[in-house]
A and B are shown apart, each in its own frame.
Chain A
């Protein structure tokens, strides 16, 4: 059974960089069939797609976040990571990692999510 688990600091100061890692177990992140993605949900708001990465390192980002987002992959550790720079309170959210069934496909496996709060 595939499992994804987000990890990282739960509190980040304004203007700093948010960093999260998603560890994949029960399957290989290097499978050619899947992409890997980050999605977030601010408190009381809807879901927002952040970006996707392929095991080769190809990335696709939400245009509204593109200038601040970097997603990377470490196939040796079966992990992929999110970095979001210059954070503000508006970046406070539950962050989810997920597996995607190809680039146009849906997300089929999700992590439990991790709350990141931006506050001084």
Chain B
């Protein structure tokens, strides 16, 4: 069974830069997996940050960027702010209409 892997937790200092990754248990992630990234804050609807690997969703500041780093999809946050403290999820398109979410990364800003 294919598993999408994310770091369970990460911490970053205010103003710092952090890169979260999204990998596959059985393959390297490429642009063919159309990685997308979402920010979840308790009590709020999920916020779409990035889709199709590196396209920023409307209204998302350019502090957020997506890429392929090595064999994983990556979400980089520069100039981290207190309200970036959230859970971040990636999802990969596996083909044949199937998508799989990663387990999520809890980002702490301190």
Query: Which residues of A (86-110) have their CB < 8 Å from a CB of B?
Result: 96, 98, 101, 103-110
CB of B104 within 8 Å of the partner chain:
yes
Query: Across the interface, which residues of A come within 8 angstroms of B64, CB to CB?
Result: none
CB pairs A–B below 8 angstroms (25 shown): A39-B46, A46-B103, A47-B104, A49-B91, A49-B99, A60-B96, A96-B45, A98-B46, A103-B93, A104-B34, A104-B52, A104-B93, A105-B93, A106-B36, A106-B37, A106-B38, A106-B48, A107-B38, A107-B46, A107-B48, A107-B51, A107-B91, A108-B48, A108-B57, A108-B58
CB of A52 within 8 Å of the partner chain:
yes
* CB-CB nearest in chain A for B51: A106
Q: Are A103 and B97 in contact (CB under 8 A)?
A: yes
- Could you list which residues of chain B lie within 8 angstroms of chain A, going by C-beta atoms? 34, 36-38, 40, 45-48, 50-52, 57-58, 89, 91, 93, 96-104
* CB-CB nearest in chain A for B95: A104
Chain A's interface size range is 20 to 34
Residue of B40, B52, B97, B102 near A106 (CB, 8 A) is B52
Query: Across the interface, which residues of B come within 8 angstroms of A101, CB to CB?
Result: 51-52
Query: Which residues of A (55-82) have their CB < 8 Å from a CB of B?
Result: 60, 62-63
Q: Are B48 and A52 in contact (CB under 8 A)?
A: no
Q: Are A46 and B89 in contact (CB under 8 A)?
A: yes
Instruction: Give 1 or 0 for each of A30-44: 1 = CB within 8 Å of chain B CB.
Output: 000000000101000
Once the chains are docked, how many angstroms separate the CA of A113 from the CA of B50? 20
* CB-CB nearest in chain A for B50: A106
* CB-CB nearest in chain A for B33: A104
